[in-house]
Amino acid sequence: MIMRNTLILDGTWQYWIDEKRSVKAGDGIQLEKKIGDIVTTCEWKPCFVPSTWNLQQKKLFRFFGTVLFKKCFAVQRTSPDDTIELTFGGVNSKCMTWVNGKFAGEHENGYTSFSLDITAHVHPGNSDDNTVVVYVNNEWGHPERLPWTRTVDWFNYGGIHRHVGIIVKPPARIEDFTFMDEIEFASEASTKPGSISFEVSTNMENKSDLSFEGAILVTIRDVKRYVNVLGSKKVMVNVDGKNHAVFLARFNLDPSLVELWHPDAPNLYSVELSLENKNGEVIDAERARWGFRKVETRGTRFFVNNRPFTMLGTNRHEDHPSFGAAIPDTLIFKDLQIMKEANINCFRGSHYPVAKETLDFCDELGLFFIEEIPAYQLDASHMANPAVLATAKRYFEEMHSRDKNHPCIIAWSMSNETQSDTIEGRAFHEALYAHARAIEKGNRFIIHVSQKRAMERCYDLSDFVTINIYDGWYGGDKEGFMNIVNLIHDILLDEDHELGPPKPIVLTEFGAGAIRGYRSWDAAKWSEDFQAALLEHYIKTAMEHDDFIGGTWTWMFCDTRVDLPTRPDGRPRSYNNKGFVDEFRVPKLAFDVVRQRYAEWKKKINP
């Protein structure tokens, strides 16, 4: 299979800090002269990309402003009609780029990927005579950026914090593709599906002036044995010049040959798409992996592949003391291995879309993933602002378009702890859910995460009920948490209530802070013992009520850095210390609690 010409731009770059705040974001074309002057006169210093600038120099630790980055590169193309794109995995938060002095595009928001067409500005060839300059700004309080509030409970690092590359695409090409499966079981007792249909829809782009005639060949292979072809289909295509069109390849797969995907058995298939011209030559190719799985709720219980399922989960921030949000792929993998060791079968990327490598590893290792847009703790006035709603919708579109073809994604989350008990919150969520449901047609849940308890006004929109609850930490006592859960369960059972039919309840956040190494006979606050006892109580009690509690997601996986001036209280070491491993991934007592309790629960569900 031919692969597109791609270039990785990770490595040594140059950077310049705009200490005097002289570059204001604005019209990228008008800024060309100013940027050009800075490029030739400023003092550049070397840096590594991906990274976050806050951890490069002491004086940059709390720098929330603008930094320029610069890199020289060479790029080759095979045809003058090729498109050359600059791709970013994530830049926090506002990004503007100039290639060889010309404005080449911009992007808002730090946790989604984007590509910019730089064809018109590059000089293809062998020498490094192209220069890209990237403006990055990480200030708060812009309605076109999420998170909106300054008081987030993690660190707002700035920088080009994920991989950067260049990709050369042929004029007639596969621009995008979407997988959709439908799995039916003959009865609730069936262990094997009766039918599996699979559809691959391909968006073909033709950038040349001439019309294109050819075919798309879709092949589904078993990743384990690779040679086994599960299905193969050729679809004839015909696209006018400067146009695009969508083509469908539909499969009815033989269910006896398909091994389903499940966290305990993450069976993957490689779906390969080849675009052939009318001479049968392959001119473009793409591939992705898919796992066939069916997730559903029946009343208050979850089912995966027709078997009862409980979400044995946690929440995770992408953070490390040395790398900030730019955590290396090897550490991402390690994090997920630790989760598997703890018998975790799902986790939430709280509170933003993660590095895309995370999803590849979830697919492979067997972890369901809940991906969230950073609509974090918005108040009623934020949600009444149409610009904030537009940003949230765009965030969802970008997240969905990058990650839709990952079987690990079990749910999309629209928000966390907003004022979803207000009229404004209701209107905001109604609009956001409608938008998301119009885009997501596959087998996934859509939720938002709430701490509003019985006051919540949006549970009817959500596919399961979410409760963030910190009784026993911020107030109350841990023994009391079931009073709230029972109350919500009763409300859900009340047929006259507007919350709709009963659904599983998931404890989406609960936890306690613990400083690793601080042990205490009397389980004093901040000790590992206190945290372990609290998690033990919550998980054990939830398991006793798993006829309507569909899972628990501990808050959280690893200790995570916060910003001292904006989170002065209750954050010793300037960390949120509620991880069951610390920031270096060293386990606390709570790790063993999670591991043991989840092992027991798993056995209870599927003895």
Kindly list the residues in this chain that would bind ligand ADA in the complex (CB under 6 A).
153, 416-417, 451, 468, 509, 555, 576, 578
Of residues 66 and 552, the one with the C-beta less far from ligand ADA: 552
CA distances from 450 to 396, 420, 454 (A): 18, 7, 10
Displacement of CA 59 from its chain's centroid (Å): 31
CB of 536 to ligand ADA, least distance (A): 18
Nearest residue (CB) to ligand ADA, 107 versus 588: 588
Q: For the residues of 392-447, what is the DSSP string, one character each?
A: HHHHHHHHHHHHTT-TTEEEEEEEES--TTSHHHHHHHHHHHHHHHHH--SS-EEE
Closer Cβ to ligand ADA, 119 or 462, answer by number: 462
d(CA 408, CA 261): 9
Question: CA-CA distance, 583 to 586, in Å (whole number)?
Answer: 7
Do 223 and 280 form a contact (C-beta atoms < 8 A)?
no
**Shortest Cβ contact with ligand ADA: which residue?**
153
Q: Contact 189/204 with Cβ under 8 angstroms?
A: no
- Decide whether 395 or 510 has the Cβ nearer to ligand ADA: 510
CB of 431 to ligand ADA, least distance (A): 22
Instruction: Using the structure block, give the residue that is written with the tokens 């989760």.
Output: 339
Question: By C-beta, is 310 or 577 nearer to ligand ADA?
Answer: 577
Minimum CB separation of residue 417 from ligand ADA in Å reads 5
């709720």: which residue's tokens?
297
Nearer to ligand ADA, 333 or 518 (CB): 518
Nearest distance, CB of residue 564 and ligand ADA, angstroms: 15
Find the shortest distance in angstroms from Cβ 471 to ligand ADA: 12
Separation of alpha carbons 438 and 261, rounded Å? 26
Of 417 and 529, CB closest to ligand ADA: 417
**Token digits of residue 520:** 């205490």
- Helix-helix angle 386-403:423-439, to 10 degrees: 30
Contact 318, 355 (CB under 8 A): yes
Residue among 348 and 489 whose Cβ is closer to ligand ADA = 348
How near is the Cβ of 530 to ligand ADA at its closest, in Å?
15
Residue 116 or 593: which CB sits closer to ligand ADA? 593
What's the distance, Cα to Cα, between the start and end of the chain in Å?
A: 44
Q: How far is the CB of 599 from ligand ADA (least distance, A)?
A: 26
Token couple for 402: 């990058």
Residue 96 CB, nearest approach to ligand ADA (Å): 30
Q: Considering beta carbons, is residue 93 or 468 the nearer one to ligand ADA? A: 468
Measured from the CB of residue 559, what is the shortest distance to ligand ADA in angstroms? 11
Closest separation between CB of residue 578 and ligand ADA, Å?
A: 5
Task: Answer for the pair 412, 438: CB distance below 8 angstroms, yes or no.
Answer: no
Instruction: Extract the runs of DSSP E, i.e. beta strands, from 20-65.
Output: 45-49
> 462 — phi, psi (to 5°)?
-95, 150
To the nearest 10 degrees (0 to 180), the angle between helices 528-544 and 589-605 is: 10
Phi, psi for residue 236 in degrees, rounded to 5? -75, 140
Structure tokens at 43: 């003092």
